[in-house]
Amino acid sequence: MSSTDKPMREVSVEGCEVLGKGGNGAVYRLDDETIVKVYFGNRSSREKIEQNRKVTRDAFVQGVPTMIAFDMVKVGEDYGVIYEKINARAMNQEIIANPDRIEEYAKLIADTLKKLHSTEFEPGSLPDSKDRCRADIDATFNAGFYTQAEKDRLYRLVDDIPGRNTFVHQDFHPGNMMYQNGEILLIDVDDAGIGHPVLDLSSMYLVYVTAAKTQWKSTDMGLTKKQFATLWDIIVRKYFNTDDPKEISEINRILEGYSMIKMIRGVATSPSVPNIIRKPVASSSKKKLFSIIDNLHPIP
């Protein structure tokens, strides 16, 4: 019997400490041993939340450093997942508290990322991360921002990414990392899957570079644009083992190109984007993407 079939325990978060909030939900401290992530009802179905719980459990069993996910619960009109409580602090909070240690933290992020990208899973045990790229393309196409020919060309770009059975988080930013005893534990592995590292690295580019420049993520996490830029520069140098400015520039060019698939989808479909800028920003971004698409290739 799955969690979507059996009777569901109900919990209340009234009076509970809020540990964090994001686009999909909020995290509350239930007691000294457990927390609950409550998903906003308009963002995630019961079936999707159950799938997220399964992904978290499977990732933990495979050795990915993440919190233990317990049962699914009902919280008012919404649903949530119970997790173990850990004595740790979010990485963005660590950086805010200890800005002089940012180089140390960036190197730890890069080392953790390389370890994750070498963690093998059985084929089919986690979602194929290329399917998320295709879903982004489909959503943008359905919103009327791609022609059929453009959609087909983007599908070929995704199809040309080599398949791998290694872990990719796809939302690997400081707000989703917990720092504990010199190590990183992952939270919010809802979008995790298996695939090529470029799928993870390009998603990171979208946060550390693109979103940070707009101050969206800077404001959301309490980090400055300069701190995000420092983090990203060290992560790229450490991950790719290079200090060559030309190599770094090329790496960023490629990652920006792949990241634009998700970025354009966000501009085209997000209700938070004002309609007055939706079309011009999406159109200019699409023009840039298709101007470089023939020179994109997966790295590393």
Instruction: Clarify whether residues 196 and 288 are in a common domain.
Output: yes
Q: Is residue 8 part of a domain?
A: no
Instruction: Clarify whether residues 200 and 119 are in a common domain.
Output: yes
Of the three residues 35, 58, 84, the one that is the final residue of a domain is 84
Instruction: Clarify whether residues 35 and 124 are in a common domain.
Output: no
What's residue 197's pLDDT? 97
The closest alpha carbon to 28, from 72, 99, 69, 81, belongs to 81
Q: Is residue 9 part of a domain?
A: no
Quick one: tokens of 274? 């004002």
Q: Is residue 13 part of a domain?
A: no
Query: Which amino acid type is present at position 169?
Result: H
What's residue 3's pLDDT? 47
Instruction: Clarify whether residues 93 and 50 are in a common domain.
Output: no
Q: Are the C-beta atoms of 130 and 195 separated by less than 8 Å?
A: yes
Q: Is residue 4 part of a domain?
A: no
What's residue 85's pLDDT? 79
Cα 252 to Cα 250: distance, rounded to the nearest angstrom = 5
Of the three residues 50, 84, 118, the one that is the final residue of a domain is 84
Q: Is residue 11 part of a domain?
A: no
Q: State the first-to-last Cα distance of the chain, in angstroms, to the nearest integer.
A: 42
Range of the domain at 253: 89-295
User: Percent of the chain beyond pLDDT 90?
Assistant: 56
What's residue 177's pLDDT? 87
Cα 185 to Cα 168: distance, rounded to the nearest angstrom = 14
Instruction: Clarify whether residues 31 and 150 are in a common domain.
Output: no
What's residue 20's pLDDT? 67
Give how many domains the chain has, as a whole number: 2
Per-run averaged pLDDT (10 residues), the chain, 300 residues: 64 85 76 86 75 79 82 89 82 93 97 94 89 97 97 98 94 87 84 94 94 63 90 98 98 97 95 91 96 96
Q: Is residue 26 part of a domain?
A: yes
Q: Which CB contacts under 8 angstroms, 24+ apart, belong to 169-173?
A: 169/116, 169/200, 170/129, 170/132, 170/199, 170/200, 170/203, 171/203, 172/109, 172/113, 172/200, 172/203, 172/204, 173/204, 173/207, 173/208, 173/217, 173/221
Tell me the pTM: 0.85
Of the three residues 84, 103, 132, the one that is the final residue of a domain is 84
